Amino acid sequence: MTEENKTAAEAMQEKILEALETVIDPELGIDIVNLGLIYGVDLNEEGHCKVDMTLTTMGCPLADIITDEIHRALAEIEEVKTIDVKLVWYPAWTPERMSRYARIALGIR
């Protein structure tokens, strides 16, 4: 991968993460990026976006709502043609994955 392609890929990943910051966990009121629920995003050359994410608890009843919101947020990005959200459970989510912003907002030290 050339340096120019790498920079474009990094910029696109940042754009995707910014879109995902609009997806709010309904229970906690914090976006899924700052909660540390996003484990990875990848956009291939055909426009297929794969999102690896977890939930704060296995069996979370809001999984479908959050997945629908991810689809809504990423549909706003012109380069994204198809979206695949994959729930992963390893490594297990812990509060240490949260950003400083999320910790402050939730009163966690």
Asked if the model's pLDDT at residue 47 lies above 90, the reply is yes
Question: How far apart (Å, rounded) are the C-alpha atoms in residues 22 and 50?
Answer: 17
> Mind listing the pLDDT tens digit for each residue in 52-103?
999 988 887 889 999 999 999 999 999 999 999 999 999 999 999 999 999 9
> Is residue 109 one of the residues assigned to a domain?
no
> Is residue 19 one of the residues assigned to a domain?
yes
Q: Are 97 and 35 a contacting pair, CB within 8 Å?
A: yes
Strands 48-53 and 38-43: antiparallel
Number of domains observed in the structure of the chain: 1
Q: What is the CATH number of the domain that holds 31?
A: 3.30.300.130
Question: How far apart (Å, rounded) are the C-alpha atoms in residues 98 and 59?
Answer: 20
Question: Does the pTM exceed 0.95?
Answer: no
Host domain of residue 33: 1-104
> Is residue 74 one of the residues assigned to a domain?
yes
